[in-house]
Amino acid sequence: MIVKSQNDIPASEITDPLIFKQRRRIIKAMLATTIAGVGTSAVADDKSIGTNLPKGDFSGELLTPSPANLIKNYTNYYEFAFNKEDSTTLAQSLRIDPWSVEISGEVEKPGTYALEDVLRQQTLKEHIYRFRCVEAWSMVIPWVGFSLRDLLKSVKPLSTARFVKFTSVYQPEAMPRQRANAMLDWPYVEGLRIDEAMHPLTLLAVGMYGDFLPKQNGAPLRLVVPWKYGFKSIKAIVKIELLKTPPTTSWNKFSPGEYGFYANVNPSVAHPRWSQYSERQLGSGFFTPRRRTELFNGYGEQVASLYTDMDLRHFY
Amino acid sequence: MNFRFNWIWPFTIAGCLIPLLWLVFDIAYDNLGSNPIQALHIRLGDWALRFLCITLAVTPIQTFTKWRGMSDYRQLFGLYAFFYASLHVLGYLLADHYLEWQVIGIDIIESSYIWFGVLAYFIVFLLAMTTSKWAKKRLGKSWKKLHRFIYIAVCAAIIHYFWQLKGNLAEPLFYLLVIFFLLGFRALTWLKNRQPNENTG
């Protein structure tokens, strides 16, 4: 008996590398027109999205981005590997073209949208944000992306939408840890409250350092929520659902006492096994003191109002 | 067979320094990856734990091979465990925190995994301080009792290791297995020596 599994990819669906490159060029051309409005020659060469992108409203002017090679070789991508180095090479087998995102649930215009079509509607900007991992290290990343709210508004959320659930790609044939059913329940799931999702700081990123996202960093589309620990910023998103009730998220399900739904960066709420008071900034050398972690990762001015009257120690 | 005065001894002393040279090389050539300070902690902590395991392996090896005079090696490896553990602690205080005591204090108080590291180091420190022949003579019977605390130190070191991890437990589990065998050997020896007494009672 032949059991046809979901993993079988018909030969017709495997993208010819030439067509793949062509598509990338088409996306780039579209991005160029998006960016052209700003009046710069944004697409300088075939490799980059553009180095002269307009800056996002909350882009940190005083933040110095961490060296790109550090960011590209230090990723927590458990679908590929449990260490931070191996996913750099393993992630290259991920298929990201074509890519589409399903938007469903409490919205007026549910549907499956091709990434090209999504990007055609959005203005890409550069957002330099600090990224703070729950493991007490941080880096500064110049993301390229757009506000999630702009995408959500375009599909018209209903008033009943109170939470947003994000789901990562399920590609066990390319992802060894998914294939082995290791650790977390796959695919990876994250979630936000609707007001967090609609906050202008919250991004969907498609690039960093003026280039498309490297696969290990979450290509082709990832979430960036700078005031929360990094595990909230889910990679390789294929589904966005607007829900009435809070979704069950991956790390929270794995260890609810350690990883809360909110996961707001907070130096005075320690992880049960380690302190969150300070962080090692990537790129800083030996004999450099650790950085003192800031409440909401330094974005308190923008987001603290979302959590007034909330006990942050209880809702960690 | 006496190992003390032959060529193996100086080679062992020098060989135990290879991990340190290797680390210095990797620091000099920027081979420690994106988070070199964490890599430094892991490297030195690993070697401290490995030397503890090697130290604990000397007695079983002596029993199986019936070689004599290996207690000097046991002492040497134990001192190297202390050496690498001390570098590990110095790396934390100096290279990582640059002696910012307020941050260090909060970090230690709030990080339960560090408590086990502190316990392990405290024991290894005491053992290293009482390693001399003079101390052994002075402490008499309690010397042996004190040095049995190495079993607690090695267990604390492994807990210190896996208690800070988010997921992947493969490596600490390997050490746990090694320690299980090393301590199991001693448990069996103890049981064997105990039985005749019970029979006479």
Whether B163 has its CB under 8 Å from any CB of chain A: the answer is: yes
With respect to residue A227, please indicate whether it lies within any of the assigned structural domains.
Answer: yes
Nearest CA in chain B to A289: B97
Q: What is the pLDDT of residue B148?
A: 93
Check which CATH number belongs to the domain holding A295 and give it. 3.90.420.10
Work out the percent of chain A whose per-residue pLDDT is above 90. 81
B164/A274 Cβ within 8 A: yes
How far apart, in Å, do the first and last CA atoms of chain B sit? Answer: 38
* Integer CA distances (angstroms), A212 to A108, A132, B76, in order: 31, 21, 54
Q: What is the pLDDT of residue B200?
A: 46
Q: What's the ipTM?
A: 0.88
With respect to residue A79, please indicate whether it lies within any of the assigned structural domains.
Answer: yes
B94/A273 Cβ within 8 A: no
Could you tell me the pTM of the whole model? Answer: 0.86
With a CB cutoff of 8 Å and minimum separation 6, the contacts of A37 are A123
With respect to residue A254, please indicate whether it lies within any of the assigned structural domains.
Answer: yes
Whether B113 has its CB under 8 Å from any CB of chain A: the answer is: yes
Q: Which domain holds residue A295?
A: 16-307
Spatial distance between the Cα atoms of A46 and A53, rounded to a whole number of angstroms: 16
What is the pLDDT confidence band of residue A21, given thresholds at 50, 70 and 90?
low
Whether A279 shows a pLDDT value over 70: the answer reads: yes
| B103 vs A135, A287, A290: nearest CB | A290
With respect to residue A2, please indicate whether it lies within any of the assigned structural domains.
Answer: no
Buried b (16+ CB within 10 A) or exposed e, A161-175: bebbbbbbbbbbebb
**Smallest Cα–Cα separation from A301: which of A226, A205, A204, A198?**
A226
Whether A33 shows a pLDDT value over 70: the answer reads: no
| Per-residue H/E/C for A197-221 | HCCCCCEEEEEECCEECCHHHCCCC
Q: What angle do CA A7, A11, A15 make, to 5 degrees?
A: 95
At residue B135, φ and ψ (nearest 5 deg) are -65, -40
Residue of B112, B166, B171, B173 for testing the chain A interface, max A β-carbons within 10 Å: B166
Residue of B27, B32, B37 for testing the chain A interface, max A β-carbons within 10 Å: B37
Buried b (16+ CB within 10 A) or exposed e, A103-131: bebbbeeeeebebbebbeebebbbbbbbb
With a CB cutoff of 8 Å and minimum separation 6, the contacts of B9 are B3, B72
B35/A282 Cβ within 8 A: yes
A277/B103 Cβ within 8 A: yes
pLDDT tens readout for residues A68-92:
999 999 999 999 999 999 999 999 9
pLDDT tens readout for residues B136-194:
999 999 999 999 999 999 999 999 998 988 866 777 888 989 999 999 999 898 888 88
What is the pLDDT confidence band of residue A47, given thresholds at 50, 70 and 90?
low
Whether A1 shows a pLDDT value over 90: the answer reads: no
* Integer CA distances (angstroms), A118 to A14, A108, A144, A311, in order: 22, 17, 14, 37
What is the pLDDT confidence band of residue A251, given thresholds at 50, 70 and 90?
very high
Spatial distance between the Cα atoms of A12 and A3, rounded to a whole number of angstroms: 20
pLDDT lower than 50: segments of chain B: 1, 200-201
| C-beta of residue A142 within 8 angstroms of C-beta of residue A208 | yes
Helix, coil or strand: residue A112: strand
Q: What is the pLDDT of residue A8?
A: 47
Domain count, chain A: 1
With respect to residue A7, please indicate whether it lies within any of the assigned structural domains.
Answer: no
Helix, coil or strand: residue A2: coil
At residue A80, φ and ψ (nearest 5 deg) are -100, -45
Which residues in chain A have Cβ-Cβ distances shorter than 8 Å to B113? 273-274
Whether B65 has its CB under 8 Å from any CB of chain A: the answer is: no
pLDDT tens readout for residues A192-221:
999 999 999 999 999 999 999 999 999 999
